[in-house]
Every structure is written in structure tokens, then in C-alpha cells.
Amino acid sequence: MSNRLSGRVAIVTGGANGLGEAIAGKFAAEGAVVVIADVDEPAMEQVGGELGVETSHCDVSDRASVQALVDGVVERHGRLDIMVANAGIANSPKYLDIDDEFWGRMIDVNLTGVFLCNQIAARHMVARGNGGVLLNTASILGAEGNPQTPAYAASKAGVISLTRSGAMALGEFGIRVNAVGPGYMKTRMTEGLRAVPELEKSLAEMVPLNRFGEAGDIADAAVFLASDEASYITGHTLFVDGGWLTHHLPARTEEQEEIRVRAQAEAEAR
């Protein structure tokens, strides 16, 4: 490894599995001091032990919890250079079935949680006066919407907009704000889709690179955006999607559309 993040202190929320775990591992391998934060304490402790990184319980939807996380890291290490606001929840009832409780929880975690992590980390970075990096996890669905998971798509669209707004607000302080936008990845979130070979094959065929992405693909993008190699990049969402958003795709057949809808329904049921 090239130690592109050597000497930097990073928090990765939602670090107990999936993309967050992969990002934390890559950051640590690149020389960063990493703290993973999650609400799933048993999984977090296991991952922390495997990666050799610190852990801290945090509910990103609660301001006091995020404040305690950041304050604790700064107290222990004297600084915070990188905040990765990755924690989130997925799936959604269909549009006409979403109730206020579900909608509120989705927005609280996926959008308000990102805002709280960004704002609280940025306040420390501004006070320290040495810049920093805020990196958020968005989604291809935030760019194009989705009738099967409308609440999730809306929350991720908010993350994309918040990323741009944060970049404009914090650039004068040397703080860069970017996001990664995963496509269909091989994570726990897509286990239901990949459990049936015909569903996985059909979805993969709709991706120009003809495969699901790996968590490591997102982690590689995150390292780049957090490093000095991206020193003139801010306000950008880097879609790591195998080309999904190019829309240079063959028209879906009725059979493919039926498979996609059934795959989504099976994922929601798991």
C-alpha cells in the first residue's frame, strides 16, 4: 500500500459490515487511524478486532450520539481529518404504502444522519483550521429515483444535494465534501437479489460491465476521494456503478422488467 492516508484520523459510520467495513479496512491499510461507529455493537466489535481499528457506538440519527462520537475521537487523538457518513438503512414499502413512521425513520438515518455527521465533524475541522474531508454514501437511486424503494431513493437524492451544498459552504475552510454513489454491489443489501441465480444474471446484464460491484470498488473510490490525489475535487458524487447511469443500455424486455420487479420484491421481503 502507498500510505495515502498516513497520519490522518478517520471515522467511518456504519462500519460494522458491507461498504463501511470495506472502507474502514482500506483506510487502515493506507495508514489512517480509523474509528468505526455503528449501532450493531457485536458486529462492530468483531469487525474492529479483525481490522485492528477502534470502535464506538453511535446512532447517527441522534445529535448527542454523533457529538459524543466526534468529541471522543478528538479527545483521544487530538484531531479528526476524515468523516465518512456511510451509515444507512435500505428497502422501502411501495409509494402508496409508506406511512409517516417509516418515512421519518428513513430520513432520520439516511439524510439527517449524514447532515449531523457532516456538521459536527466540520465544526471541529473549522475550529482546528487545517481543513478536512467529509465523504458521504449516496446511491444510483438518488440520481434516478425508484418506484420500488421511493423513500430510500429520496433520502439518497437528499445526500447528493447536501454534498453539493456542503462543498459550497465549507470550501473556504479547506474542507472538501464529496460522495460515492454505489450501484448494485455484492453486499448484505443485495443478498435477496443474488440468492436466485436468474435474478442476479438478469440484473448484471443490465449493467454495462455485466457484473455486480464489490465492496472494495467503493472502498478504492473512498480512499481516492479522501486522499490528496483528490485535493481539487469537491461537491462531486462519484458513481461507482459499472456504467448503470450512462443509460446506454439495451431496452429492457418485458421479461427483464418482470424479473427486476420480482427481484426487488424478494429483497424487500428479506
CATH number reported for the structural domain that contains residue 41 in this entry = 3.40.50.720
CB atoms within 10 A of CB 166: 24
pTM for the full predicted model: 0.90
Residues 6 or more apart whose CB falls under 8 angstroms from that of 185 comprise 18, 19, 212, 213, 214, 215, 217, 218
- C-alpha cell read off for 172: 473556504
Task: Let me know if residue 79 belongs to a domain.
Answer: yes
- C-alpha cell read off for 127: 475550529
8 A C-beta contact, residue 132 and residue 125? yes
Task: Let me know if residue 129 belongs to a domain.
Answer: yes
Residues 6 or more apart whose CB falls under 8 angstroms from that of 127 comprise none
For 242: left if phi > 0, alpha if psi spans -120 to 50, otherwise beta; the answer is: left
Q: Which of 95, 152, 184, 232 is catalytic?
A: 152
Q: Is 232 assigned a catalytic role?
A: no
CB atoms within 10 A of CB 64: 9
Task: Let me know if residue 119 belongs to a domain.
Answer: yes
pLDDT at 206: 86
Query: Structural domain tally of the chain?
Result: 1
Q: How far is CA 74 from the centre of its chain?
A: 22
Task: Let me know if residue 215 belongs to a domain.
Answer: yes
pLDDT at 11: 98
Host domain of residue 198: 9-269
pLDDT at 247: 66
How many angstroms separate the Cα of 223 from the Cα of each of 17, 151, 170, 190, 243? Answer: 17, 29, 20, 23, 20
pLDDT at 204: 85
pLDDT at 248: 47
8 A C-beta contact, residue 120 and residue 71? no
Q: Is the dihedral of CA 98, 100, 102, 103 positive or negative?
A: positive
pLDDT at 9: 98
**Over its length of 270 residues, how does the chain's per-residue pLDDT go in tens digits?**
589 999 999 999 999 999 999 999 999 999 999 999 999 999 999 999 999 999 999 999 999 999 999 999 999 999 999 999 999 999 878 899 999 999 999 999 999 999 999 999 999 999 999 999 999 999 999 999 988 899 999 999 999 999 999 999 999 999 999 999 999 988 877 777 677 778 788 888 889 999 999 999 999 999 999 999 999 999 999 999 999 998 644 455 566 666 666 766 665 555
Task: Let me know if residue 54 belongs to a domain.
Answer: yes
Task: Let me know if residue 26 belongs to a domain.
Answer: yes
- C-alpha cell read off for 207: 449493467
pLDDT at 93: 87
Q: Which amino acid is at 156?
A: K
Comparing CA positions, the residue from 61, 12, 65, 58 lying closest to residue 35 is: 12
Task: Let me know if residue 4 belongs to a domain.
Answer: no
pLDDT at 249: 47
**Torsions phi, psi for 132 (to 5 deg):** 160, 180
Task: Let me know if residue 3 belongs to a domain.
Answer: no
